[in-house]
Amino acid sequence: MAFINENYTKLPGSYLFSDIAKKVNEFKAAHPEANVIRLGIGDVTKPLPSAIINAMHAAVDEMADASTFRGYGPEQGYDFLVNTIVENDYKARGLDISADEIFVSDGSKSDTGNIGDILGLDNIVAVTDPVYPVYVDTNVMSGRAGELQANGKWNKLVYIPCTSENDFVPSLPTEKVDIVYLCYPNNPTGTTLTKDQLKVWVDYALQNKVLILFDGAYKEFITESDVPHSIYEIEGAREVAIEFRSFSKTAGFTGTRCAYTVVPKTVMGYTKTGEKVSYNKLWNRRHTTKFNGVPYIIQRAAEACFSAEGKKQIKDIIDYYMNNAKIIREGLTSEGLQVYGGVNSPYIWVKTPKGMTSWGFFDYLLNDLHVVGTPGVGFGPSGEGYLRLTAFGTLENTKEAVSRLKKISI
């Protein structure tokens, strides 16, 4: 008899975005004439820049020639990409990150979920609330979350509310925690922490031997000078933080899949007897055992993101999306709605009008205005009463969606 991992049976029936897709598909089947504009799931719409496409074509040609063909590559990533990341994302900012602290992967979603493989099951995990669902669901799968309560919280997780009441700045936990997930610029709220606000967390982690899992997938969207692009800009973070980075939203790699995780050799975990163990060593063992590496063609494409031409083309795309964010933010604000984010992030976090629930507002927008958002409660209990919109649509659809949203009559 083969037994299952019963933690999976504790998960809600489906993933948040699957629920949304089901509702939208049912609506479209019933109303085939409706022009539905999707501002819900954060997938990009602009094609890959020419610098990236050209690099991919060149790499494909290499794979067709016996003298340049490549089979298995290093699981941690090819030197040409890893060294380019070191030079452009860290040394250029005066940060001391070495090549053997970087691990190239197929996505931050994968890595933020898989990182739990090297973490003990007895750790007490804290998450900001609302939160990217993967952080919670993967801890449920591993058994760290406990049981789902009637209030929407898992009884073994520590929730740190981030709402308009506290300006979306998470307070330090009052109870003991061992691991905390931080995502800035934040998904889903689109808000950020300043360097001083992030330093509070690094200092706390240093004092309490807490591991920070820092998701920086949206760092290229930052526009304000006091918002850190990396947690390692904060003194002491190399001792307590693992950082996740992605090419998905910044360079349009949602369909080509490339990301990387930084695990400094100075970040230590502990055995039950108090012995220090390098997380870098453990992650390297896990990575090389369970992952065969990102394809050579894709890594050449990622390398091209850092070329002069690639940087310019990517900036143009990010500017395009951030202009969409400005249109959404200003359009909804002009209608008297409370709107957050959209300044350092492609996400806009909207307070639902007149006390509507998140799903109630979602249903209203879909059925009456044919616009799709993401219900805030799907990101956690503190997301109730909010809705997330994304700036990843086309300019034309963004303008049309905002014109429809201006017709809200509740």
What are the tens digits of pLDDT across the range 209-256?
999 999 999 999 999 999 999 999 999 999 999 999 999 999 999 999
Q: Looking at the chain, which residues constitute the CATH 3.90.1150.10 domain(s)?
A: 6-47+310-406
**Which of 3.40.710.10, 3.40.50.1370, 3.30.70.980, 3.40.640.10 would CATH assign to domain 53-307?**
3.40.640.10
pLDDT tens for each residue of 53-68? 999 999 999 999 999 9
The answer on whether 15 is annotated among ligand-binding residues is: yes
Q: What is the pLDDT of residues 107-128, one digit of tens each?
A: 999 999 999 999 999 999 999 9
What residue ranges in 162-221 does DSSP mark as E strands? 179-183, 211-215
For residue 206, give every residue at least 6 positions away whose Cβ sits within 8 Å of its Cβ, in sequence order, or none. 236, 239, 240
Q: Is there a binding annotation on residue 247? A: yes
135 annotated ligand binder: no
Asked if residue 108 belongs to a known ligand binding site, the reply is yes
Is 144 annotated in a binding site? The answer is: no
292 annotated to bind ligand: yes
Cα–Cα distance measured from residue 238 to residue 101, given in angstroms and rounded to the nearest whole number: 11
pLDDT band for position 40 (cuts 50, 70, 90): confident
Mean pLDDT of the region 370-387: 97
Question: Is residue 144 helix, strand or coil?
Answer: coil
Q: Is there a binding annotation on residue 78?
A: no
285 annotated as belonging to a binding site for a ligand: no
Is 93 labelled as part of a ligand binding site? no
Residues of the chain within CATH 3.40.640.10 domain(s) are: 53-307
Q: What percent of the chain has pLDDT over 90?
A: 96
pLDDT at 409: 85
pLDDT at 241: 98
Consult the annotation and say whether 300 binds a ligand. no
Strand pairing class (125-129; 179-183): parallel
Position 410 pLDDT exceeds 90: no
How many Å apart are CA 260 and CA 253, to the nearest integer?
13
| Summary mean pLDDT of the chain | 97
Q: Is 218 annotated as a binding residue?
A: yes
Query: Binding residue per annotation — 109?
Result: yes
Q: How confident is the model at residue 388 (pLDDT cuts 50, 70, 90)?
A: very high
The answer on whether 187 is annotated among ligand-binding residues is yes
Is 8 marked within a binding site? no
State the Cα–Cα distance between residues 77 and 279, nearest whole angstrom: 18
Predicted pLDDT at 152: 94
- Per-residue confidence (pLDDT) for residue 16, from 0 to 100: 81
Instruction: Spell out where 60-149 has E strands.
Output: 102-105, 125-129
CATH of 6-47+310-406, one of 2.60.40.10, 3.90.1150.10, 1.10.3720.10, 3.90.120.10: 3.90.1150.10
Residue 41 has pLDDT above 80, yes or no: no
